Amino acid sequence: MTPLESSLDSRELWSQIEIGVGTCQTLRCSGVAGFIECVSLTENNWADIESLLEALQPAKISAKKLQSDQLLMTDFYCAWLLCIEKTEEIDSTLAKNIVKCMKTRETKLLDNESFLSSVFLDPLLNGLLDESQQAIAKKNLCAIWYRLNQFTENQTQRESEAESEEIMKKLR
């Protein structure tokens, strides 16, 4: 694809801005931008574009990781934490706002019992949970275990009843 081809019809709608701005930067680097009126920007504009692209880069990398077919919740969380860490290293207002929003959203993720349980079961991430979060995860896992046992017992009981009925039919 050449720099002039539009990539804005991509399925990754979140990255449309990054793709469009990246195309502008590519045009500038190839020397074409000066000849196109709509791409004639000041040096401050170009600096803002570079800052925008830099701030979005960790999210772009994380999004590619998250497109895996076999993604576990803990894989998602690791990518999330790495994205926050890499974005924190960038000194821009946008990067700081992205980190702030991600940390706000992270608190909501950690309010989810299933998410906490998944993190609790991962030995690499377990230490990130405080005692109350670990207690919630344990309680949730025990409830799941109890439900699974009930289901298994009911299933076993149905199977033994069906076997008993078959034996009774054969005896008649």
pLDDT in tens, 120-133: 999 999 999 999 99
Least confident of 29-38, 44-53, 107-116, 138-147: 29-38
pLDDT at 50 (0 to 100): 86
Least confident of 15-24, 104-113, 130-139: 15-24
**What is the DSSP secondary structure assignment for residue 8, as one 8-state letter?**
T
Q: How far is CA 143 from the centre of its chain?
A: 26
pLDDT over threshold 80, residue 109: yes
d(CA 103, CA 96): 11
Whether pTM > 0.85 for this model: the answer is no
6-39 pLDDT tens trace:
444 445 555 666 666 666 666 666 555 555 555 5
Tokens of 65: 């990781």
d(CA 121, CA 43): 50
